[in-house]
Chain A
């Protein structure tokens, strides 16, 4: 079993690991890098639980071959906080009880994060569309949508206010 070196930017820091042929990015993040904030849900691209950002775009890490992120920027929920301060999305998820079991939450946050970077003032429908690939089995989607809309408002205020 041959291993190949892989270098990429992980939450803003240079990372170098050895990966197996065909190893997926989720497995590499969890087992090789030790970033456990990305979660396994289905391993087949159906649930969105493992959503991460590659160069700012949401991607399913279970279906991403690790070697394809060579030299790219990979972001996970583990990199969302600014020092000890929660990202507005994280704070809004807490305020709105948008996480019950918490397992889909990192993937939801990354999908929402990607949306707000591209579209700082999304409509409710656009939020629904953006998290359409992420399955939540307990809290329900309304509090999650409310949280994302509130975070968008707060982030806009911070920018322009």
Chain B
């Protein structure tokens, strides 16, 4: 068992590979293995502090609701409670993870202030001497909600009149490059391809959300350091991501944050969201004591961001000899209530289309959709696995439709070196054909002589490297809000050359003609319409009395009455916040802004 699982086919591509390497291909012991087998690898929770405080959150029981009132008085008087935090205590209470890459608008608060958009969204944080006391106090937080209509399906969320989930993107779709309500790909002319095809085959595929479920739940412990910094032990998968996010949300220089991580008890993508570090460090700023904020298993499963659900519509034009001549995608990524990384998943997924096949006409429209579900995030190849599943299911159905062997059908359509891919890069070092041949061989699956003779190294390029005249359109163009000039200068209807999405989805022809607005940019992150007053305050800077207001009860709980150590030197007042617009992603994907 196990020995024969690795099978090197070193005869393939041997001229492209150097086998004379010192480490690669040879066994080596991991540097952390000794720590793991002795139980001494330092996970975030394996750091002991005297007087460690525990933070827990009061969370929304609704999918979608207006927050009318928050009453924390009873919670503040509970035994062991040291401090109760609300959104207004967070210096810059609005962020989007990819703002560090200058991609997308800030759309998610650390603690919700006026509205909750998913079940489990944190509204109030309680810091107490024990975890149990924190949970007991959380149960005493009174939040008056006005439930709002909610939407849980990606296509329903894009219908006219659907509840606006995310106030930054009121049309429930991420805006790409300030231009479109989805990510576009146009290569050749799919409609022409469909007209010329012998058969047109369309199917819909759906993937569910999946929880990463690491054995170590997400969390962080922060503590004051003597060098005027804050130390933070964290389970994060992206240490500098978490550090930058914390610095931004707390208006503190990143040089004053000492983040220690790298020992992660399983991540699988679910530990990049940087939800724990900012609140733990803020807790330290406001109490002067070490603070732990960790999910228990229930929170990990219920609130921790999963891989998002995806829906893919694939429409293929195919010739009876097996050649696919046109392929069109409509994709919906369920981002949940906030963006996190789903905008990126869409870009990544689009760069992956149409799969490892050479198809002369390809078109795709992929939406990052907001619904009142738990925000989704990274997980093992997110953006790729869902559409690959869909493509390969579709390939089997196409093979059946033209009565071909499914492996030979793939070999026929597989890209070969020199072919042009839909994202306009030449195919190099491809190996799908060889992979298919090995699979067939291992499974004792008979291939024709032609299929056995095929190679990624031959028959590519030439006609297959030609980019056909490409049909472009303005489908999904965002309308300018309140007539403000567009940088591109060409304000016009959002939709001119309508492509076939309406037909595919069986929705009214004007389903997308509802004037998808330009992304809404709130003037200040924490000034909702109802409460214009509470502008974001750098509370840690200005709040020496870290304890809750004086208690009037006969015997105040010891923790609440004892003034906490003043926090280390407050950070300097923040410079006025610069709002960023959704911009390019060129550094990551190579896709240009315009």
* Residues of A that sit less than 8 Å from B by CB: 1, 30-31, 34, 36-44, 46-47, 49, 76-78, 80-81, 86, 90-91, 93-94, 97, 99, 101-106, 109, 135-138, 142, 146
Contacts and interface: CB of A to CB of B under 8 A. Distances in A.
Indicate the member of A47, A90, A103 with the most B CB atoms within 10 Å.
Answer: A103
B33 A99 contact: yes
B37 A93 contact: yes
Contact of A142 (B2, B45, B46, B265): B2
Interface stretch (B213-221, B306-314, B444-452, B538-546): B213-221
A42 B29 contact: no
Contact of A102 (B29, B35, B267): B35
Given A77-B39, A101-B266, A103-B43, A41 B216 contact: yes
10 contacts: A30-B45, A36-B48, A37-B40, A39-B265, A41-B217, A78-B39, A101-B214, A101-B266, A137-B215, A146-B2
Nearest to B300: A42
Interface residues of B, number: 32
Contact of B265 (A44, A76, A91, A101): A101
Nearest to B41: A102
A36 to B, nearest CB: 4
Contacts of A44: 297
Nearest to A41: B215
Contacts, number: 98
Contact of B33 (A39, A94, A109, A135): A94
**Complex A-B, nearest 5 residue pairs according to Cβ-Cβ distance, in ascending order:** A37-B39, A102-B36, A103-B265, A77-B39, A99-B36
A102 B265 contact: yes
A47 B41 CA distance: 19
Given A43-B297, A137-B268, A109 B37 contact: yes
B37 A94 contact: yes
A37 B35 CA distance: 10
Contacts of A93: 33, 36-37
Contacts of A36: 39-40, 45-46, 48
B266 to A, nearest CB: 5
A44 B297 CA distance: 8
A103 B33 contact: no
A37 B38 contact: yes
Interface in B29-58: 29-30, 32-41, 43, 45-46, 48
B97 interface: no
Indicate the member of B1, B32, B38, B46 with the most A CB atoms within 10 Å.
Answer: B38
A42 B265 contact: no
B296 interface: yes
Nearest to B263: A102
Contacts of B37: 86, 90-91, 93-94, 99, 102, 105, 109
